[in-house]
Structure 1
Amino acid sequence: MSIELIIVVFVMVSVLFIFIGIYRWMSQSSAINERLLNSPYAADTEKQRRRMMSQKVERRIARFSRMSRLERELLAADISLTIGEFVMIRIGLTLAGFVLGRLISGYLLGGLLLAILGWVGPGIYLGMQKNKRAKAFREQLPDMLNLLVSSLRAGYGLLHACNVVKDEMADPIGKEFGRVIRETSLGYSIDEALDHMVVRVNNDDFGLIVTAIHVQNEVGGSLATVLETISKTIRERIELQGDIRVLTAQQRMSGWILSMLPFGLATILMLINPDYVMELFQPGWIRIIPTIAIILIILGNIVMRQLMKIEV
């Protein structure tokens, strides 16, 4: 067994044990912690405990304006990580990818390619989780409105109707309304708790619903009738959006394949035969070829996304 292979195995095992240790450290809880998790203050307590580990990292990245955006994306994806933890995971995967790529291929470029994949990978996962949760929320929205309308017509107040939604609806809507109920028990008004939910879910239709609730609280009127009208409109929009996604599915898949294929193929060739790929990066004019190729791939991806972006 060569020394390079031994080093690669050692690095992989070390990274694995590091992440296992972090996971076990965050998962440890005593009987007291279990009782605390059942209290209304559980979310704040857990968040403070985790931030103690990553507060230095968060101070560093607090200077960047993207921090608030990343925090919103983590909330929308329902990933229970702080910003510092997420950034540390990306940095760890990036360093591990660079070391493995450098040792396996023997070239700096191989390490850079795997480092890029290590940095981009968590972001792709975050986006997939956020889109998956947003889609599930969007599909549950009409049923949630019907349940609210039925509860209001039965004589329940808005807070009690939200509690019914929490008990009857599955995740993500059931979980989000559970947070609304918990915030009201901590002293927030129902309007403030719903505004916080709008920020978390980032759904325009739900924002419209909350706005209608605010207006009804100010001017009065039948909230059940207003929500019933909004429910019909949202159902029609969801059906139209579904038709559009079906019609553009092939184009979206083609765009993803065409965008990722060159990078995936270059990574595979770099690992199999690095000398073949390195010919494109020799000093001289030949370096223009991969540079132009990357620029054209990025521009093509932007154009395809804009062509398939249809607002409803």
Structure 2
Amino acid sequence: MDNLTLLTLGTTLLGCALVIAGLHSYARGRAQRAELMQRLSSAGSIETYGRRRRFDQVDRRLRTTGLGRRLERKLAATGLELTPGEYFVYGLVAVTAVWSVAAAVFAPFFGPVAAVIALWAANGFLDWQRAKRTERFLNQLPELARIVANATQAGLALRTAISIAAEELEAPAGEELSRVADRLAVGDSVEEAMEELATRLPSRELLVLVSTLVLSNRAGGHIVDSLRNLTRTLEARKETRREVRTQLSQISATAYAVPAIGIGALLLLDAVMPGALERMTGAYLGQSAVLVALGLYTLGFVFIRRLSKIDV
């Protein structure tokens, strides 16, 4: 009986010691994790340009969702100095402000309609920024191909040529190639790094350049002649795109003039007959007519934009 008591007491003391050691290890791990998160948060809260990031809590929670990850990729392609959390908060404030202004200026019915339009405009703004940055990148492609061709002809490896091009070129090509060089520095292959670049800034010209570099790197071929021919082709395509964009500028202006005319007509109607919009949207028939009109204006805008979109 004494032996059993001693065994039970010893087992109890050992269990308590293990529990205390486990709790101590758990507490130390949590403290180290909190310190690491604080350090990373402090390091990540300062941008390259010295601007301190805002809404860190919102940003961290948003990045764990699918929406946050998609938003992060889109923001990375636009080159904007915004985190997903900042964009989300700013967009929410803008949508709320547009809702309030539309409900006060027109009628309460137009509040949620304007909010939906504001959400669409916010996404369209990111697409426009990405398209503009992609266009600037495409204008730098001839110089990029020329630098890589010269560096390769001098006997440098493709990885080194990409790093030299990242240092020589201005933004956005310099920034994008710096990301590619960073990926290569941590052990990623040229194919993976360049394909990520093509996914971030989709264009046929960039896809051709990426395919040329990847195939030449994989097969070990000489890429100087191919890059020089590609440089001349890219120069010609750049001039062609500029001419096409100039010819279609009037059509693009018409696409934005169509919805502006509709909004102006609503403002004129409310100015001539004060309270007309509120009375009109007070009935289901009036609300249906407004929604149909907005749908037709949207359809006209999209249709005209499609007509003016010519891929060269």
1:79 matched residue in structure 2: 80
Structure (1 or 2) with the larger CA radius of gyration? 2
2:248 aligned with 1:248:
yes
| 2:151 counterpart SS class | helix
Listed as ranges, the matches of 1:292-303 within 5 Å are 292-303=292-303
1:235 matched residue in structure 2: 235
Indicate conservation of the 8 Å contact 2:198/2:207, yes or no: yes
Indicate conservation of the 8 Å contact 1:248/1:308, yes or no: yes
Indicate conservation of the 8 Å contact 2:107/2:277, yes or no: no
TM-score (norm 2): 0.73
Taking the aligned partners of 1:106 and 1:253, their CA distance within structure 2 comes to 26
Q: Post-superposition shift, 1:87?
A: 3.0
2:59 matched residue in structure 1: 54
Q: Which stretch of the first structure deviates more once superposed, 148-157 or 285-294?
A: 285-294
Taking the aligned partners of 1:290 and 1:307, their CA distance within structure 2 comes to 26
Q: Which stretch of the first structure deviates more once superposed, 78-87 or 140-149?
A: 78-87
Indicate conservation of the 8 Å contact 1:113/1:267, yes or no: no
Deviation string, structure 1 residues 106-162 (Cα, Å, up to 9, x no partner): 841353355345434433432332122111101111111111111111222212211
Structure 1 gaps of 5+ residues are 1-28, 39-45
Taking the aligned partners of 2:140 and 2:177, their CA distance within structure 1 comes to 13
Q: Which stretch of the first structure deviates more once superposed, 297-306 or 168-177?
A: 297-306
Taking the aligned partners of 1:126 and 1:154, their CA distance within structure 2 comes to 40
Taking the aligned partners of 2:89 and 2:174, their CA distance within structure 1 comes to 31
Listed as ranges, the matches of 1:136-215 within 5 Å are 136-215=136-215
Q: Post-superposition shift, 1:268?
A: 7.8
Listed as ranges, the matches of 1:269-288 within 5 Å are 275-283=275-283, 285-288=285-288
1:98 matched residue in structure 2: 99
Taking the aligned partners of 1:70 and 1:303, their CA distance within structure 2 comes to 27
- After superposition, the Cα gap between the structure-2 partners of 1:189 and 1:106, relative to the gap in structure 1 and judged at 3 Å, is closer
Indicate conservation of the 8 Å contact 1:195/1:210, yes or no: yes
Q: Post-superposition shift, 1:174?
A: 0.9
Taking the aligned partners of 1:90 and 1:267, their CA distance within structure 2 comes to 25
Deviation string, structure 1 residues 243-293 (Cα, Å, up to 9, x no partner): 111111111111111133313553686699761222432426444432332
Q: Post-superposition shift, 1:172?
A: 0.4
Q: Post-superposition shift, 1:57?
A: 4.1
| 1:202 counterpart SS class | coil
Indicate conservation of the 8 Å contact 1:105/1:274, yes or no: no
Indicate conservation of the 8 Å contact 1:77/1:133, yes or no: yes
Q: Which stretch of the first structure deviates more once superposed, 291-300 or 153-162?
A: 291-300
- After superposition, the Cα gap between the structure-2 partners of 1:231 and 1:135, relative to the gap in structure 1 and judged at 3 Å, is same
Structure 2 gaps of 5+ residues are 1-38
AA aligned opposite 2:184: T
Indicate conservation of the 8 Å contact 1:216/1:223, yes or no: yes
- After superposition, the Cα gap between the structure-2 partners of 1:243 and 1:179, relative to the gap in structure 1 and judged at 3 Å, is same
Taking the aligned partners of 1:50 and 1:198, their CA distance within structure 2 comes to 31
Q: Which stretch of the first structure deviates more once superposed, 210-219 or 85-94?
A: 85-94
| 1:108 counterpart SS class | coil
- After superposition, the Cα gap between the structure-2 partners of 1:72 and 1:177, relative to the gap in structure 1 and judged at 3 Å, is same
Taking the aligned partners of 2:125 and 2:186, their CA distance within structure 1 comes to 33
Taking the aligned partners of 1:50 and 1:209, their CA distance within structure 2 comes to 39
- After superposition, the Cα gap between the structure-2 partners of 1:286 and 1:116, relative to the gap in structure 1 and judged at 3 Å, is closer
Q: Which stretch of the first structure deviates more once superposed, 219-228 or 271-280?
A: 271-280
Deviation string, structure 1 residues 203-243 (Cα, Å, up to 9, x no partner): 22112111112211232321111111222222222222221
AA aligned opposite 2:194: L
Taking the aligned partners of 1:188 and 1:50, their CA distance within structure 2 comes to 32
Deviation string, structure 1 residues 9-29 (Cα, Å, up to 9, x no partner): xxxxxxxxxxxxxxxxxxxx9
2:34 matched residue in structure 1: none
- Alignment coverage as a number of residue pairs: 270
Q: Post-superposition shift, 1:84?
A: 4.5
| 2:283 counterpart SS class | coil
- After superposition, the Cα gap between the structure-2 partners of 1:37 and 1:85, relative to the gap in structure 1 and judged at 3 Å, is closer
